[in-house]
Structure 1
């Protein structure tokens, strides 16, 4: 648990490290002089846990700090300050100011991240090997909690007998793909230990190096992507493209390619379905013909893969073992090690050219794993080591020390080989973070293309652009998802919350009706049916209206369901009073009734739907929807958050808004902030524009669409939807669900609950505020549930007490009969998980009038609902499956209070009448 003492100690250490590295003894002295008693071990734990610094040769090196690089010019001739021209001097000062601003923002973001532990362990299950690329094994797992980190992050795969270096290649919903050492054994379960500050430190370190200039880095090019558009209102006519260069392009795409050929910064605005990626592929084709060296970059591995495939679609001849086009890092899906039958991955090419080096490195890696495993086993032994054990420890230390220098030398040689491959290649594809790694350091490009730039921070876009000569294409859609950052400081808002589109004023100019001269805007969309395209255009692209491309209206429909009665469908849950709740231990929201209804839609579409996606802005709800997919066995069906699904498309998209105003009564700012540039409209835009043929929106529209104006894109979207969409009553969804979903009549609730309880081995019930008059009637069934363990209660019933801490009479009666009834406040859920059955109700489930009651039988869904809602044991408060305690004074039950603090509940366990709180996180 983070305490005030820890916060003060972290602040003292951070202040001591403010000016750079500090000797180990000096830092310990500074801490002790501040009145804190700790030793070297405690200091190491503090710095490591909170991501403050790393110990190297007796000195603490601040995370993200790096000595400045020696400045050099393209001619490799150093200049002294008084030899600089006025323009060069101004550029140097502007660049230093920009670098300092970005470094400050990254430092503040790092502070925000390290207010909690910078390390997190994510449980992984279902591990399977996807393939081997050079000296790395690709494995895919199902994450049992939020991964919460960006692609490219380094971490550790923690196994019972060893820990292995891992890189996060991709995260799709709960599916995470890792690149691991080739010697990694096949495992089904593991833990992924992530350092959440790693990428921040990488950026900060690189900016420190570049601040005073570095070989191959162009400050002018870096600053150009942040500068206001100063081009004349009318640009000179652009030369026409050759016939083969313009093939398969629309008129707008041809004009965009011509605009991009201008050797300066061009902004390529590609709304959904307008063929931005196709345009980039054609542009790269022209650049290759002209012999220019190109960097293709994007913030995620998936986006980089899409760019590579777009280029190879026009130029399959580039996928040769000669390395004309190369892809740095690993593909997102783990199965793209060969495009068009040829190898393009840098690691694959390096392994082929340096096969002996790679083989030796692989063998030494396996030997080191075995030796370190031997050391781990000795460490786990209790008591004093025997003479034989001490001798074995010394031998293992010697063997490890003997191999490590050779491993470091082989790594250096393989790095140089990768650098050589990238230097000689004409087209290099890499994520924005990979541009900062040693492999590409100092390599310059004629043209830089940064795609999905709206999701890339201004700070990172600046560094990527600096790898070029000033001919830069910033491509993306600033009406879709923005960068994500935690810190809310002026510097963070300027450099991390904004993309280059906002920082340069491009987005603001478009909003104000001033189209920038360097902006190439695509308008003809080829994805959405006209009705879907119209609502998206009217809500989010009024300044740049989208038009349907040829063939959209007559395109065959590959996916059908009885409930896709129109291109636009509204499933209004306003009258259902479906409850919104928060995942235990977090702030992400979910809605059981919505998930049950969407599961019913899926069940009734199984044999008639080719592909489908259920998407939502909330990660907790996305996991619930994903658990419902298991029983359908449809590989082309997806459930995901909006963030993870940007760039995707499906025939049918079901968008779950989750929020209803019931349970969690305050709507999320995504639905109430009327700023057109806020996150809410962007999320809704991405969600709606993923649909090709049918868009189904699930929401409580009386709450989501109350008041507003035509200036608010959210209001425009819902107004257009209510005017144009087909209505789908939730009652019809239940009727068409068959056995997938049951609407239980109030008179049948008790009997059906009794049946489920008698069949169950364990159960948990959450009774919201209201009457629980029917609870005693369940007592015979509850007594039939057998205890499987002395340590775990098979039954937990959560009941909300009154303000004085008294339980309702009915709950008290059942508690005195020996059933594990626990007091908790507030309880915003009204549900039960009984074995493989999930129940939900709009009012208290055991009220004589429980409102609407839904029942779903689905084991994966029930398991995940249980994990989502179950109360965890804290330092003071017992959780699910544990008995509660009574107050020692008044004998009332101690109450588990869940008090929201910064979006995450703080647990207080106390007697509401006379006990002082014993607080725990």
Structure 2
């Protein structure tokens, strides 16, 4: 039997897992983009096409892509991609004009590069030894422990005396602060440091902190700190002198001027192409791309010169594995940030690049993402390095691995928010810094729920509103969507500068983005609002976080995102992004009925209820202070406004009645008064001929609603048709064409 923990066994299994993931991505694709107005340009070795796009696509020139149109599928590569237009070279012809097609792109080339790097590790005794020490960190720690002064001092000592150091950095515990100062200290000792992370943003944040520290110490030297590769921009706004682009432009103005001129010319031609397509313009565009490619080669040579001189280099794990200027070099110290989001083979590859490695992350947050369900992929690409080296296991026994440093004082969340995560997620190993008791009070005092930092907005007994989107099975809940939007609106008017809306379900986050775009156009200028699934929020923080769990009746059980293997991590991220106000929107009746006490979501609900943080629908008038012009809340017994809307209908009325329910006589009389040109559609299991509908949809929907002219949506009306609702009887009126179009589209789908 082959010994499981040999380096050759690891590499063999990693390569198999990566190849399985590549094969899955090539077969099924992942990221899909719609391209339209496709026009055939020319044929050489491949077939060249121009397509319009609705926005700029984040696909680098030269990337491999797949195009699908009807039943046709063909591979190709990107020749030009900037603005709302793209030129691609395809292996097969798909005709002269293409109204709309799907473009699929997944960076599997980056995974292929990782396989090649693993092959190289096999051939190097030194690299195999480094890999072995990472995967089996059982060696005795050698750093002195008697005179440790701080986290920075301890990590500096650990990384000096030990080949591998793991840093567990829960949210708000100063991970960036600590890593930056250790990197700077090593630099001042004339060591060469490589900073790596899963995302561009994480690299930018850490490089910015290193630069800031060195500048404050008057030790910063231009050219010694280098951000290599694409940067996200915002984090380095005050440190542009560390980017390779800025360094090259300042020392080679002529080269920079030439590139700027070509980029302007390219943008002009792209604009011409969007207005009226011509082959001459497309040929000119391809010629400009060729000139830019030559120019980029010159930039590349200048960039390589910068790399030779730099002492601290920051880039992504993917870039490091694909660029020989990084992976062929030797460093004194490797720092891997966001390691819990990286594939195990990526972390292992990184560890082979230097004499010492610091692996930093939080294994209580989201794990790496892989698409394939293959067993090897699940084992090696869907779990993090902390778990696969057994470093995380010691935490379950209330102790720390000898090679792990825990940053154990959080400074981000108000104590009322961190009380749950400190106890249930971090097993009381993390505590609050004294500053958080005062530095979040300003946010806590803002509305909604002034004076409260942690709130459970309970939607129990407000009706059965949780449905599944028919094409994806992703869940959505219109009632909780509207309540959450109201929370965002109140928070903006209350003075919140950054607001996050997070939900496990993509379709719910998409609907919230529709509402924000349509209803908060002006307010969005005063606050930074993000609505997304949990993955978008890892690594960021917000003044106010709204966590919408969506699940409720008529669903028979909660979704796996909320109770599955990684649910603790998902919920932890949702909570720990918060600075001052965490609002949890959940149906506690459903959760208590369907989730047992050991699950994190149930623990969160029980914790918030035990600490008197629950707000029921009975208090809706207490916290809704501002009625939006397009979202109004009212008592469902007050029917004057809904009747007025019915009388004002111009084109259509849709009313849904759940099975076993009927309409009161005043509704029948009101519908009978509608204009003859207004079409009335009844959604019900019973035809109800006495209502004289123009159309009857034989559909059993769990809650009543009224849709007028495909833009005004009433929930909670008609009241007599509402299922499982307690007083006060609340109705919501939403004026949104986008949400209404989505909802009626769901009803019409088979």
**TM-score grouping bracket, smaller chain normalisation:** 0.7 to 0.9
Equivalent residue in structure 2 for 1:545, among 425, 429, 447:
429
Deviation (angstroms), 1:427:
1.3
In the alignment, what sits opposite 1:664?
Answer: 555
Q: Structure 2 matches for 1:93-108, cutoff 5 A?
A: 94-108=6-20
Distance 1:118 1:848, change over 3 A: closer
Asked whether the 8 Å contact 2:477–2:550 carries over to 1, the reply is: yes
Is the counterpart of residue 644 in structure 1 residue 529 in structure 2?
Answer: no
TM-score (norm 2): 0.79
Distance in 1 of aligned mates of 2:407 and 2:17? 33
The CA deviation at 1:323 is 2.0
CA distance in 2 between partners of 1:838 and 1:759 (Å) = 12
Counterpart contact for 1:327–1:429, Cα < 8 Å: yes
Aligned counterparts of 2:125 and 2:450: Cα–Cα separation in 1: 53
Contact 1:750–1:778 (CA<8 Å) still a contact in 2? no
Mapped to 1, the partners of 2:682 and 2:317 lie a distance apart of 48
Question: 247, 269, 275: which one pairs with 1:349?
Answer: 247
**Post-superposition offset of 1:308:** 1.8
Are residues 671 and 409 of structure 1, via their aligned partners in 2, closer, same or farther at CA, if it must alter by over 3 Å?
closer
| Counterpart position of 2:472 | 586
Aligned alpha-carbon RMSD (Å):
4.5
Residue by residue, what CA displacement relative to the aligned partner does 1:32-89 show, whole Å, maximum 9, x if unpaired? xxxxxxxxxxxxxxxxxxxxxxxxxxxxxxxxxxxxxxxxxxxxxxxxxxxxxxxxxx
Q: Distance in 2 between matches of 1:365 and 1:270?
A: 42
Partner SS state of residue 502, structure 2: strand
Matched, 1:323 2:223: yes
**Equivalent residue for 1:854, pick from 731, 734, 746:** 731
Give CA-to-partner distance per residue, 1:394-439, whole Å, 9 cap, x none: x987x78987765544333322222222232111121222222335
In structure 1, C-alpha distance between the alignment counterparts of 2:63 and 2:684, rounded to whole Å: 44
Shift of 1:472: 1.0
Contact kept? 1:616, 1:622, Cα under 8 Å: yes
Query: What residue in structure 2 maps to residue 83 of structure 1?
Result: none
Tell me the distance in 2 between the aligned counterparts of 1:683 and 1:309.
Answer: 28
Is 1:808 the counterpart of 2:715 in the alignment? no
Q: Could you report, residue by residue, the CA deviation over 1:742-790 in whole angstroms, capped at 9, with x for unpaired residues?
A: 445455458615515725666766555453547865655764667xxxx
**1:518 maps to which residue?**
403
* Counterpart in the other structure of 2:350: 464
**Distance (Å, rounded) in 2 between the aligned partners of 1:620 and 1:578:** 18
Contact persistence 1:594–1:658 (CA under 8 A): yes
Change (3 A) 1:238 1:597: same
1:681 is matched with which residue? 568
Aligned to 2:337: 451
Equivalent residue, structure 2, for 1:865: 739
Q: 2:184 aligns with which of 272, 285, 288?
A: 285
Deviations 1:128-180 (A, max 9, x none): xxxxxxxxxxxxx9989xx9x99999699x9xxxx87459xxxxxxxxx9999
SS at match of 1:613: strand
1:276 lines up with 2:175 in the alignment = yes
CA deviation digits over 1:682-718, x for unaligned, max 9?
A: 1111122222333222111222234877754444333
| Contact 1:603–1:737 (8 Å) recurs in 2 | no
Equivalent position of 1:110 in the other structure: 22
- Aligned with 1:839 (options 706, 714, 728): 714
> Closer, same or farther in 2 for the Cα pair 1:703/1:376, shift >3 Å?
closer
Aligned to 2:90: none
Alignment partner, residue 205 of structure 1: 113
SS of the residue aligned with 1:429?
strand
Q: Where does 1:93-492 land on structure 2 (aligned, <5 Å)?
A: 94-117=6-29, 120-122=32-34, 165-166=80-81, 195-198=104-107, 200-208=108-116, 210-213=118-121, 219-220=127-128, 223-224=131-132, 226-232=134-140, 235-238=142-145, 251-316=150-215, 322-332=222-232, 334-336=233-235, 338-340=237-239, 342-361=240-259, 408-438=293-323, 440-466=326-352, 468-492=353-377
For 1:568, the equivalent position in structure 2 comes to 454
1:71-86 aligned at under 5 Å gives the runs none
Contact 1:155 1:192 in 2 (8 A): no
Where does residue 43 of structure 2 map in the other structure? Answer: none
Does the 8 A contact of 2:654 with 2:683 survive in 1?
no
The answer (yes or no) to whether the contact 2:476–2:507 under 8 Å persists in 1 is yes
- Distance in 2, matches of 1:654 and 1:179, equals 36
- 1:221, CA displacement in angstroms? 6.7
1:77-123 CA distance string (max 9 Å, x none)? xxxxxxxxxxxxx99x9555433322322232234344545562258
* 1:357-379, Cα deviation, whole Å (9 max, x unpaired): 4544555667778889999999x
Q: In the aligned structure 1, how far is the partner of 2:494 from the partner of 2:271?
A: 52
Q: CA contact under 8 A between 2:366 and 2:570: conserved in structure 1? A: yes
Distance change (3 Å), C-alpha of 1:715 and 1:321? same
| Alignment: residue pair count | 693
For 1:757 and 1:688, the matched residues in 2 are separated by: 45
Larger mean CA deviation between 748-757 and 718-727 belongs to 748-757
Q: Distance in 1 between matches of 2:617 and 2:292?
A: 62
Distance in 2 of aligned mates of 1:396 and 1:527: 52
- Decide whether the 8 Å contact of 2:166 with 2:405 is kept in 1: yes
Deviation at 1:239, TM superposition (A): 8.0
| Residue in structure 2 matched with residue 655 of structure 1 by the alignment | 547
Deviation per CA, 1:664-691: give whole Å up to 9, x if none. Answer: 3321123334xxxx21111111122222
Separation in structure 2 between the aligned mates of residue 217 and residue 411 of structure 1, nearest angstrom? 36
> Alignment partner of 1:581: what SS?
strand
Residue 605 of structure 2 corresponds to 718
The answer as to whether partners of 1:324 and 1:426 remain within 8 angstroms in 2 is yes
Q: Which runs of 5+ in 2 are unaligned?
A: 37-52, 68-77, 88-98
Q: Is the 8 A contact 2:557 2:594 kept in 1?
A: no
Q: Secondary structure at the match of 1:483?
A: coil
Once residues 796 and 609 of structure 1 are traced to their aligned partners in structure 2, the CA distance between those partners, rounded to angstroms, is: 43
C-alpha distance in 2 between matches for 1:558 and 1:179:
46
The Cα shift of 1:492 comes to: 0.5
DSSP 3-state at the match of 1:814: coil
Shift of 1:635: 1.9
Question: Offset at 1:572?
Answer: 1.4
Q: 1:368/1:216 Cα in 2 relative to 1: closer, same or farther (>3 Å)?
A: farther
CA contact (8 A) 1:669 1:680 kept: yes
Distance, in Å, in 2 between the alignment partners of 1:513 and 1:473 is 23
Residues 152, 181 of structure 2: 8 Å contact kept: no
Q: CA deviation at 1:268?
A: 0.2
Q: Is 1:531 aligned with 2:416?
A: yes
Q: Secondary structure at the match of 2:359?
A: strand
CA distance in 2, matches of 1:868, 1:811: 29
Determine the C-alpha separation between the residues in 2 that align with 1:152 and 1:684.
37
Could you tell me how far apart the structure 1 residues matched to 2:312 and 2:251 are?
Answer: 19
The answer to whether the 8 Å contact 1:456/1:499 transfers is yes
Q: Is 1:619 the equivalent of 2:506?
A: yes
SS in 2 for 1:648: coil
Distance 2:165 2:509 in 1: 37
Shift of 1:311: 1.3
Deviation at 1:457, TM superposition (A): 1.6
Secondary structure (helix, strand or coil) at the match of 1:871 reads: helix
